[in-house]
Amino acid sequence: METRLYKQVADKIQAMIATEGFACGDRLPSERELSTRLEVSRASLREGLIALELTGVVEVRSNSGVYICDRPGHSPLPEAGPGPFEVLSARRVIESEIAANAAQVATDRAIDAILVAVEAMERDHDDVATNEQADRNFHMAIANATGNSALVGVMNHLWDQRGHLWHKLKEHFQTEELRKETLGDHRAILQAIASHDPAAARKAMRVHLGRVTRTFSA
């Protein structure tokens, strides 16, 4: 099986650390410099760095940089699935059409289920686990609104691909501003589906997932 790109990037970073004599506590070059030196995109570099953070090789400090940890990590990467940006790319393609389809056929009951999930995210925003479940409920409610069990299965699979790398990456970017933007996006998607406007629903979902992608790669 082909090695995931983020694993290849992580291996390149570890090789650079070893050959260039970085010591514990040293700060790595900036992401811009690293992406140029390693000839990888900023998004792939970020996934590689997050993978190394999960194994204890580096520590990513917000607004400061990436530092070599006191304890080198020798454990394998915690997942072999797709990286966060692969998942987001797939979701932009598939979920946008799911939203459009939901707008065409959603019943009042199905729309109410989407609304319940949105209201739960707005109400329970301080509880990370509850908020995460409400977020999943929102996207699954849209898939359920299509009445197509195959699409529900696809959506479940896509959501389950959000592994350790996804959650660690999200942790670095989770802010009150991001929360408010997400809620605004969800309200726009809900409104388009409730209005039975497939084009608006498709666009609103693309805008939402595009914004998440830009946030994670900023």
Q: pTM for the whole thing?
A: 0.79
Distance of CA 158 to the CA centre of its chain: 11
pLDDT recorded at residue 98: 98
Spell out, as residue ranges, where the chain has pLDDT lower than 70: 1-3, 70-80, 125, 218
Domain layout of the chain by residue ranges: 5-68, 84-217
- Mean residue pLDDT of the chain comes to 87
**216, 98 contact by CB (below 8 A):** no
Phi, psi at 81, each rounded to 5°: -80, -175
Topology at the third CATH level for domain 84-217:
Four Helix Bundle (Hemerythrin (Met), subunit A) (1.20.120)
pLDDT recorded at residue 91: 94
pLDDT recorded at residue 80: 57
- Which CATH architecture best describes the domain 5-68? Orthogonal Bundle (1.10)
The encoded tokens of residue 55 equal: 């194994």
Task: Decide: residue 23, CB within 10 A, 0-12 exposed, 13-18 middle, 19+ buried.
Answer: exposed
pLDDT recorded at residue 176: 78
Distance CA 193, CA 214 (A): 24
Side-chain-side CA neighbours of 79 within 13 Å: the count stands at: 20
**189, 143 contact by CB (below 8 A):** no
Phi, psi at 205, each rounded to 5°: -70, -40
pLDDT recorded at residue 21: 83
**142, 102 contact by CB (below 8 A):** yes
**pLDDT tens digits along 189-200:** 999 999 999 999
